């Protein structure tokens, strides 16, 4: 049984396998249409979602299984009536797979440690590995390769998407530059791990506080106001992040990626979002194909 909680745990080979399978599934979806007959996935959500929720649910349906959305607000767990450990044990008796979007990453680990079924991280405050697999799939689809490319990320360095992206890039040999304010650097443990992975793969990981345009293949950004950030922080954060906004000048000839949802006019200008260089909707579509790949990997199918 394999859990899918963070890309730190996966080898380069496993990551590439997930990416390549996503690409195959996109080309031949019919081949996978009965793979998950009689399989049920529970979807545990503590935060909002459009892409992850819908793509996982559609992925299960299109492969012949079913998905059950469960809003954690209505759970005995959230009401303080049941422990997370007991919750995991009970779910394991009904379902084949659990996908969970929670605040604290440690909650996912508790779920995984007490569950007899695979647990997929649908986003925690610190990691978003499903997004990173979909992103690598999109990059491979556009450039026909991964190794040796350069990705420049601008904005919140201390985010789930950034953390998983630096894991992903450093494991597959993409050079990654993160331009972020010094108050919002990636967490030390992610930097340390990724430096090690990048060394093993002959790629670079560079973190700088002064935003500048570089000759990148891909420019990437994420919201400045992640789901877990208190809305009262908005004015303060906008002031700090403003110099990191992706605009036409920063983009240059690179392709533009964003995990979405985007706040137009904040982390990215509308003209970049809508430009011919923007691949954000292909990227969003690939969440579906890569979700299938991740589900099949967890169920060893």
Given the rule CB under 6 A, which residues bind ligand CP?
A: 49-53, 123, 131, 259-261
Active site annotation includes 101: yes
Out of ligand NVA, ligand CP, none, which partner does residue 226 contact, by CB within 5 to 8 A per kind?
Answer: ligand NVA
CB of 129 to ligand NVA, least distance (A): 12
Q: Which residue is nearest to ligand CP (CB)?
A: 52
Active site annotation includes 222: yes
Active site annotation includes 89: no
Q: Which of 46, 57, 193, 222 binds ligand NVA (CB under 6 A)?
A: 222
Instruction: Say how far apart CA 292 and CA 199 lie, in whole Å.
Output: 31
Buried b (16+ CB within 10 A) or exposed e, 171-210: bbbbbbbbbbbeebbbeeebbebbeebbeebebbbebeee
Active site annotation includes 53: no
Out of ligand CP, ligand NVA, none, which partner does residue 23 contact, by CB within 5 to 8 A per kind?
Answer: none
The residue annotated as part of the active site, out of 156, 167, 222, 289, is 222
157 contacts 36 by C-beta, under 8 angstroms: no
Stretch that binds ligand NVA, among 22-30, 31-39, 109-117, 219-227 (CB under 6 A): 219-227
Please, which residues bridge with residue 71 across strands? 45
Residue 75: half-sphere exposure toward Cβ, Cα within 13 Å: 19
CB of 49 to ligand CP, least distance (A): 3
Out of ligand CP, ligand NVA, none, which partner does residue 165 contact, by CB within 5 to 8 A per kind?
Answer: none
Active site annotation includes 135: no
Instruction: Say how far apart CA 82 and CA 194 lie, in whole Å.
Output: 37
The residue annotated as part of the active site, out of 51, 101, 163, 237, is 101
Q: From 232, 216, 97, 99, select the one nearest 149 (Cα to Cα).
A: 216
Edge to edge, what strands does the sheet with 150-154 contain?
205-208, 175-179, 150-154, 218-221, 255-258
Indicate whether 160 belongs to the interface with ligand NVA (CB under 6 A). Answer: yes
286 contacts 53 by C-beta, under 8 angstroms: no
Q: Is the dihedral of CA 92, 97, 103, 106 positive or negative?
A: positive
Closer residue to ligand CP in complex, CB, 58/260: 260
Interface residue list for ligand NVA (CB under 6 A): 123, 159-161, 222-223, 226-227, 259
Q: Which residues are catalytic?
A: 101, 128, 131, 222, 259, 287
């Amino acid at each position: 049984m394999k859990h899918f909680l963070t890309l730190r745990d996966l080898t380069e080979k496993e990551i590439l396998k997930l990416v390549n399978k996503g690409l195959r599934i996109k080309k031949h979806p019919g081949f996978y249409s009965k793979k998950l007959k009689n399989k049920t996935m529970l979807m545990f959500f503590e935060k909002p979602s459009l892409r992850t929720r819908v793509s996982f649910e559609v992925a299960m349906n299109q492969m012949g299984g079913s998905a059950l959305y469960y809003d954690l607000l209505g759970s005995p767990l959230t009401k303080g009536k049941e422990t997370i450990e007991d919750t995991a044990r009970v779910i394991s008796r009904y379902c084949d797979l659990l996908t969970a979007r929670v605040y604290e990453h440690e909650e996912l680990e508790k779920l995984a440690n007490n569950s007899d079924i695979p647990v997929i991280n649908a986003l925690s405050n610190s990691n978003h590995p499903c997004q990173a697999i979909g992103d690598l799939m999109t990059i491979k689809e556009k450039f026909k390769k991964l190794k040796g490319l350069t990705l420049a990320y601008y904005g919140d360095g201390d985010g789930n998407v950034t953390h998983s992206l630096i894991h992903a890039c450093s494991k597959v040999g993409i050079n990654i530059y993160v331009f972020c304010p010094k108050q919002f650097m990636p967490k030390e443990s992610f930097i340390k791990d990724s430096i090690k992975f990048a060394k093993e793969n002959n790629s670079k990981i560079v973190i700088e506080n002064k935003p500048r345009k570089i000759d990148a293949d891909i420019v990437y950004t994420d919201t400045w106001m992640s789901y877990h950030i208190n809305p009262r922080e908005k004015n303060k954060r906008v002031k700090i992040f403003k110099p990191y906004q992706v605009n036409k000048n920063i983009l240059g000839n690179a392709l533009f990626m964003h995990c979405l949802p985007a706040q137009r006019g904040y982390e990215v200008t509308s003209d970049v979002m809508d430009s011919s260089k923007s691949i954000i909707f292909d990227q969003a579509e690939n969440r579906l194909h890569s979700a299938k790949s991740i589900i099949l990997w967890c169920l060893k199918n």
